[in-house]
Amino acid sequence: MRTILIIDDDVAFTAKLKAQLSEAGYRVLNSTVLAHAERECARERPDLVLLEVRTEHDAGWEALPRLAAFQPVIVLSSAGLEEDVMRGFAAGAADYITKPYRTGELLARIQARMLSEAPVIAPTNPKTTVIEEMTPVSTSRRANDEETAEPVFMSEAEELALLRQSEQAPIRQLSESEQHASLGHRLRAERQRRHLTLVQIENDIKVRMYYLQAIEDEQWSLLPRGPAALGMIRAYAGYFGIDASAAEAEYRLRYQVEEKTPSFSFTVGNVNTRLPRRSPPRWLIVTLAIVLALAIAVGAIYYFDPAFFSQFIGG
């Protein structure tokens, strides 16, 4: 069984990624501390490392060349600028994937990297004992890896092939655990059950693919703040007929989101007419307040000193 080491100090994200990789058939190790992760690499010799370079306040950038010297490293990071990607490859990364990512694409890239790193089995001599030592990857091998690296995005032909394969695959029933899972897990399970891609759903409900991925991973911080995020959650859940009220309540509680007050309606005959609630403009409120203050002041002066105004009138 192939071994993958995840290095990321986001504990919640690491737990979800570990579950996804374990379900795909990999032995998964994880570490939130870089020093411990490097010791784990020396002891366990993983086949692949998934590294978040922003671990320990961007200290992952310094660890990347050391880790890449002994095994292939895929950078899986929220640092997604062009200069970040170029810096990652320059430091020895075998591949670079930005968050949020497509789970199917990540698994495909891992599988491709595993195949490219498959060891050559040589005949062994029973009389000879071989002691393996950790040796840095040669420069020529690293250059080879960069030449054969998978493209960052799926090509149009690959996307069409995936769609054709999805149409031919049978639709399975959700397991009991999937039916009672959290919203993100249920949405991913329902999408995979129907063999749909995030691209298809984006075209149907007009919500960006990376927001859909964030909802599946329940990374609410990646969604835009306010009612727009609630609308995205409702749209994606409604696409599969799933009740999203619990996730909406959690989002409101976490980010203190208050939606606009509902409009009021009245009935004329048999027609229900709905009017929006409108607040008066600010300038009108200020003007009325000034006029009211002046009226109160004039009334008070007239009440306590009626002769005050008579001197102006008489003059």
- What's the whole-model pTM score? 0.42
Please report the pLDDT score of residue 138 as a whole number: 45
Domains and their CATH numbers in the chain: 3-119+143-153 (3.40.50.2300), 161-255 (1.10.260.40)
* Predicted confidence (pLDDT) per residue in 168-199, tens digit: 445 545 566 666 677 788 888 888 888 888 87
Is residue 118 over pLDDT 60? Answer: no
**pLDDT band at 127; cut points 50, 70, 90:** very low
pLDDT digits (tens, 9 = 90+) for 130-167: 333 444 444 444 445 444 444 444 455 555 555 555 45
Residue 77 has pLDDT above 70, yes or no: yes
What is the rounded average pLDDT of the residues 110-138?
A: 53
Question: Is the confidence at residue 96, as pLDDT, over 90?
Answer: yes
Which of these, 231, 54, 240, 45, lies nearest to 134 by C-alpha position?
45
pLDDT in tens, 21-31: 998 889 999 99
Task: Mark out the alpha helices in 139-197 (DSSP H runs).
Answer: 139-147, 156-168, 176-179, 183-193
Residue 76: predicted pLDDT: 93
Per-residue pLDDT at 67: 92
